Structure 1
Amino acid sequence: MSEAHGVWTAEQVALILIDYQKEMFEKVKSETTPDEIDLNVRFLIRASKAFNIPVVLSTVGVEMGVNGPTRASIRDELSDVEVIDRSSMDAWEDAAFRAAVEKTGRRG
């Protein structure tokens, strides 16, 4: 965190996207619609790319056949990012996810 401004810089952070899947979007109970969430996430992805912020993308239960993949509109923005599919709801418990986050080297 920048001591002078009290905010993180692009060099200190990563964008971590967890479970942006159809099944999760169907459960959204908010004034913000799933389409608005999708639009906002795609904006964050584009901003992250513009500032060279690393992105980690994770799903849950795709390989097990329980859930579908990341929404296509979001996945299309991240064609160069490997999807880490977990079997656990707690992303941090998944070794591959945790390693991907640590590999970013960001400690904001």
Structure 2
Amino acid sequence: MSKFDLLDPQNSTLIFIDHQPQMSFGVANIDRQQLKNNTVALAKAGKIFNVPTIYTSVETESFSGYIWPELLAVHPEVQPIERTSMNSWEDAAFVAAVKATGRKKLIISALWTEVCLTFPALMALKEGFEVYVVT
């Protein structure tokens, strides 16, 4: 596989980071319902093409709430990875799930670019993954 290969269902993984109610309150650059609709549509597109999907959440019970039910409903067979760290790449279970897919092209959808997206993206790049950001 080359970094010049286009994204396809055989070489990519779709990752959703922290799509939770409390985390949504900090998002002000898009209507929250539109954000949710767009995110669910992305998950559905991934499902149509059989792209492996990973959900991860932070501090579900104590602060952030559960991942949006509409998003989880797209992949009811996928168990979200619960974390305590804001940087998902610091969580061994998350990194193991990413590596278990055997895919090097990571399509990451995260609510907060400054933390939820940037930190794991930089660490994944350092480990030789390619990162594609959903904006």
Same fold (TM over 0.5): yes
1:86 and 1:2 mapped to 2: Cα distance? 30
Output one character per residue of 1:35-80: Cα deviation in whole Å (capped at 9) or x when no partner.
11111111111111111100000000014x2221101111222211
Residues 67 and 2 of structure 1: CA distance in aligned 2, closer, same or farther (over 3 Å): closer
1:91 is aligned to 88
TM-score normalised over the length of structure 1: 0.88
Amino acid across the alignment from 1:24: M
Q: What's the secondary structure of 1:10's corresponding residue?
A: coil
Q: What's the secondary structure of 1:69's corresponding residue?
A: coil
Larger-Rg structure: 1
Query: Structure 2 regions of 5+ residues with no counterpart?
Result: 106-135
Amino acid across the alignment from 1:89: M
- Out of 35, 59, 70, the residue aligned to residue 57 of structure 2 is 59
TM-score normalised over the length of structure 2: 0.72
Q: Is the 8 A contact 2:57 2:83 kept in 1?
A: yes
1:69 is aligned to 66
2:55 and 2:66 mapped to 1: Cα distance? 11
> How many residues are matched?
104
Amino acid across the alignment from 1:7: L
Q: What's the secondary structure of 1:15's corresponding residue?
A: strand
Q: Report runs of 4+ in structure 1 exceeding 2 Å deviation.
A: none
2:81 and 2:74 mapped to 1: Cα distance? 16
1:89 and 1:2 mapped to 2: Cα distance? 28
**More helix per residue:** 2
